[in-house]
Structure 1
Amino acid sequence: MAEVPSSSEKHDDRVEHVEAGESKDYVGVTDDHLPEYHDKGTKKILRKVDLRLIPMLTFLYVLSFLDRSNIGNANIAGMSEDLGLVGNQYNICLMVFFFPYALLEVPCNIMLKLMRPSTWICIMMLGWGIVMTLQGIVQGYHGLIATRVMLGVCEAGFFPAASYLVTTWYCRFEVQRRLSVFYSAAALAGAFSGILAYGISFMQGVGGLEGWRWIFILEGILTVVVGASLHWTLPDSPETASFLTDHERSTLIRRLAEDSGTTTGQVDMHDGFRWSSLKAPLTEWKLYLCIIIWWGNAIPVYGFTYTIPAIIVGLGYTSAVSQLLTVPLYMSGVISVIGLSVWADKKQVRWCFVMYPYLIAAAGCLALLAIPHPEYPGLTYFFLFFIPIGIYPSLISLCSWIGNNLAPSWKRAIGMALVVSGGNLGGLVGSNIFLASQSPKYPLGYGLCFAVCVVAAGGAVVLKMAHERENRRRDGMGLDEVREKYGEEELLGMGDKSPLYRYVV
């Protein structure tokens, strides 16, 4: 392994850059300020982490998204008719999931910080797996409402926990490509659910149960089995990773410390809980802007996921064929999110990878509003691809952006959960805008999705400008001035508020 510069050598090198005035060109953290750990040995360590952590999180998120969204597949397989749902009762069943799902995300990430991540995620998965299995035996509207509420309770903490966990293993410009693989599981789940629902639908009458019930029962049992294994299969942190050697663990820990987002010095990576840890993200206005940007994903993605089988049925296809035709749509989202995320990490920039995909999704929604449905089913199906291609990469770029710019660790954990919590309230809207009474035109659904995508794209530009302005302000402070005003311990605890910290743009 190549020799690693000492802390003092790195400090001196960075001081020279600041004194030379080069820091005023930063809009984030440049190559000069990335840790000197890019040799073959370090890449081998990262591959070990990749193979152990990312596939596991990806599989867990497949199960998570599958279990919350398979109700759309069950619905076109006869669930509403068998349960006697009338009017907007199906939409209400979709909506009630999001109340506990959104409200409990911050408390869940506090629990994540207080116990082993594998233990906390295991508890959540066992809970939602049991609820999903029971959803397969409900007998009416009220039973379905109860299971959807409990599913929201049990799934609430998974996405923010998994996203935060990734940021504790990788440097700032290594995060998005890993999150993209993990998050693309949402699209994979959509594709897989169509195939799985198609196969399970042939279990009609098995055990005296309708085919749609087996969708819930079998997927719920699988979730319970996988959740029970997490104590042994999901690594918690670089410090406790038994699959790494002592040298490999120390390498990961040191490179994370040196990639803390400061032009010199570090931020506290192992801070304990203080009430200020809760106050800091709650009073950060940029996080509330991120919630609005998140709605550009949450509203279309849940409306799209729950309604896309019915939209395709409205094009003249059978229910079975419609299940299969959802697969290419979701796969296009997988390709888009992974490809753009690798590009974003390579370019070391975030804002444009939020804005431009949202504009692609907006263009698709506008076209779907203009098409005279159902006269052109092929054209309608073509423009449906614009939605997953646009909304999936926008969200993962935003999630990476948030994680890159929050420090220390408690602020990052709570701040990421806060944005996910507020952002997922968009699911309340998304689950109620594609109304069966408006089929096949869906003017409310496509129109609102167009509007929120445009607003989200504009929000990304505003957030970019805010980060650049703060970086320029901090660049104007000399290093001597900073050292005179703040002590080392104070700078360490300030996290992203430190004048030595530079935001990723």
Structure 2
Amino acid sequence: MTRIDLHILPFVSLLYLLAFLDRVNIANAKSFGLTTDLNLGGVEYNTILTIFFVPYIFFEIPSNMLLKKLSPRLWLSICGIGFGMVMVFQGLTQNYSGILVTRFFLGLFECGMFPGCFYLLGMWYKRSEAQKRFTFFFCSTSLAGAFGGLLASAIGKMDGVRGYSGWRWIFIIEGSLTFIICVGFLFVFPTFPEDAKWLGETERAYIKARLEADLGKNAIERKITFHDTITVLRDPKVLMGGFMYMGLVVPAYGYAYFSPAILATYKYNAIETQLHSVPPWAAAFGFSMLIAASSDLVRHRFAFTVGPICITLAGFAILLNVHNNLHLQYAALFLVCMGTYSAMPVIVCWYNMNLGGHHRRAIGSAWQIGFGNIGGIIATYSFLAKDAPEYRPGICICIGFSCLSAVSCCLYAGLIAWENRRRQKTVRQELSDYEKTELGDLNPAFRYML
């Protein structure tokens, strides 16, 4: 497994780190005068954040269909090159309209990356060993948050170099770095086991056999059709996955986009704000890996979604009620970040690894991320400047959606537990290989992981 990990995890994690860094660095740029230089007023900054998520909602499923057709190496590298270029252009914008356009295209190029990487990871690992890998990949968000704060505090000191403000250099330098790395990915990024050139035929057959024993036949050769999309989305378990994820997207992006603004209300200057944003992200990384290792150890997911969500709720409860104790308020940001960013990868892994077959996993994973990112739109309008410094409406919205995620997880657990019991009592019919391929996780012999 170590050999597989070394060929897969560093590449997908680095790609996601770059994507998340390019996505949320606008919050760092805001601290260095973006809104002032572009004369943004009212909710224009929030609209800039919102437009990013529009392509996510509509293009996730088509992107995963293209990924399967073109290969992860080619498609995900092209996406990375695209959002790296757009990020550089974002650093050159001169007005509200310009940055609105670049944020839209940033979302367009990034929308296929996240579900595509989860889709790719799911085709390499068994369910019992997947959570640590999914979380390590997802924890790129925590590393990006920590690294982004440190990087922004350094780049922000370039204010005035060649006539550019510090916030422009944040976009230009980070976008250029992404572009260069993703050009290299065209030649080295991983693909599906069936196409991996670094595997021998014996190794390929072994990986295929161990995955079929856990998940059934994956049918990589099968084309995904529009009819498949409609069929998969009729499954209530698939639909529930979208609500599980959306409920945490709101607090996740609420924190990622607005924690610098919240920290600024604690009377820190721009550099101090960026530096104080780093420790919560670092703590979230360590806690997420602990949750993932524990979940894989006991081969259970449900409790490791609801437990961290309760930590998130505790953090928001403190932020809602305490306004005169900076140390406690800062500690609450740790709880929010740790709880949210440790529960999200468990939810995504749990849901994705309970989908059998290439077609059901490609469509299901894209649905979860695409629908879930509606929460990103909600998050961007939750923390408005007029609500500072307490941001009570935004905190209440995050509490409500965190509860939605917890309830959805309970409903999903109930659905799969009921389905497992029903299949256990049903007389199993002999199915052909073709029928098993078509059914995926709907195969009566398949058992969902709780």
Q: What do residues 175-198 of structure 1 show as CA deviations (whole Å, max 9, x unaligned)?
A: 111011110000110101100000
Among residues 396, 417, 438, which one is paired with 2:345 in the alignment? 396
Establish whether residue 478 from structure 1 lines up as the match of residue 432 from structure 2. no
User: 1:369 is matched with which residue?
Assistant: 320
Alignment of 1:35-46 (within 5 A): 46=1
Aligned equivalents of 2:233, 2:113: Cα separation in 1 = 20
Does the CA contact (< 8 Å) of 2:89 and 2:102 recur in 1? yes
User: 2:331 is matched with which residue?
Assistant: 382
Establish whether residue 489 from structure 1 lines up as the match of residue 438 from structure 2. no
* 3-state SS of paired residue (1:385): helix
Q: Deviation at 1:291?
A: 1.5
Establish whether residue 179 from structure 1 lines up as the match of residue 134 from structure 2. yes
Q: Deviation at 1:285?
A: 1.6
Aligned equivalents of 1:115, 1:418: Cα separation in 2 = 20
Measured on the aligned residues, the alpha-carbon RMSD in Å equals 1.4
Aligned equivalents of 1:259, 1:360: Cα separation in 2 = 32
* 3-state SS of paired residue (1:362): helix
Does the CA contact (< 8 Å) of 1:166 and 1:179 recur in 2? yes
User: 2:356 is matched with which residue?
Assistant: 407
Aligned equivalents of 1:267, 1:308: Cα separation in 2 = 41
Aligned equivalents of 2:437, 2:159: Cα separation in 1 = 61
Q: Deviation at 1:281?
A: 1.9
Q: Max radius of gyration: which structure? A: 1
Does the CA contact (< 8 Å) of 2:11 and 2:190 recur in 1? no
Alignment of 1:39-438 (within 5 A): 46-260=1-215, 266=217, 268=219, 270-371=221-322, 373=323, 375-438=324-387
Does the CA contact (< 8 Å) of 1:280 and 1:411 recur in 2? no
Aligned equivalents of 1:214, 1:221: Cα separation in 2 = 10
Structure 2 residue identity aligned to 1:239: E
Q: What do residues 383-408 of structure 1 show as CA deviations (whole Å, max 9, x unaligned)?
A: 11111111112111111111111122
Q: Deviation at 1:269?
A: 5.2
User: How many pairs align?
Assistant: 450
Residues 377, 498 of structure 1: alpha-carbon distance in 2 compared, 3 angstrom cutoff? same
Q: Deviation at 1:489?
A: 3.2
Deviates more, 1:206-215 or 1:282-291: 282-291
Percent identity over the alignment? 35
* 3-state SS of paired residue (1:259): helix
Aligned equivalents of 2:135, 2:84: Cα separation in 1 = 25
* 3-state SS of paired residue (1:402): helix
Aligned equivalents of 1:489, 1:160: Cα separation in 2 = 26
Does the CA contact (< 8 Å) of 2:73 and 2:185 recur in 1? yes
Q: Deviation at 1:249?
A: 2.1
Aligned equivalents of 1:267, 1:194: Cα separation in 2 = 41
Structure 1 residue identity aligned to 2:425: G
TM superposition score normalised by structure 1 = 0.87
User: 1:29 is matched with which residue?
Assistant: none
Aligned equivalents of 1:281, 1:321: Cα separation in 2 = 48
Aligned equivalents of 1:492, 1:417: Cα separation in 2 = 20
Does the CA contact (< 8 Å) of 1:175 and 1:400 recur in 2? yes
Return 5+ residue gaps in structure 1 as ranges.
1-45
Q: Deviation at 1:275?
A: 4.0
Aligned equivalents of 2:73, 2:346: Cα separation in 1 = 25
* 3-state SS of paired residue (2:277): helix
Q: Deviation at 1:433?
A: 0.7
Q: What do residues 471-505 of structure 1 show as CA deviations (whole Å, max 9, x unaligned)?
A: 111101234xx22xx44532342111111111111
TM superposition score normalised by structure 2 = 0.97
User: 1:39 is matched with which residue?
Assistant: none
Establish whether residue 499 from structure 1 lines up as the match of residue 444 from structure 2. yes
Structure 2 residue identity aligned to 1:458: V
* 3-state SS of paired residue (1:51): helix
Q: What do residues 186-244 of structure 1 show as CA deviations (whole Å, max 9, x unaligned)?
A: 01101011000000011111111111100000111111111111122212122222223
Among residues 440, 450, 464, which one is paired with 2:389 in the alignment? 440
Q: What do residues 350-370 of structure 1 show as CA deviations (whole Å, max 9, x unaligned)?
A: 111111111110111111111
Aligned equivalents of 1:325, 1:187: Cα separation in 2 = 14
Does the CA contact (< 8 Å) of 2:65 and 2:224 recur in 1? no
Q: Deviation at 1:268?
A: 4.0
Aligned equivalents of 2:164, 2:356: Cα separation in 1 = 51
Structure 2 residue identity aligned to 1:336: F
Structure 2 residue identity aligned to 1:48: R
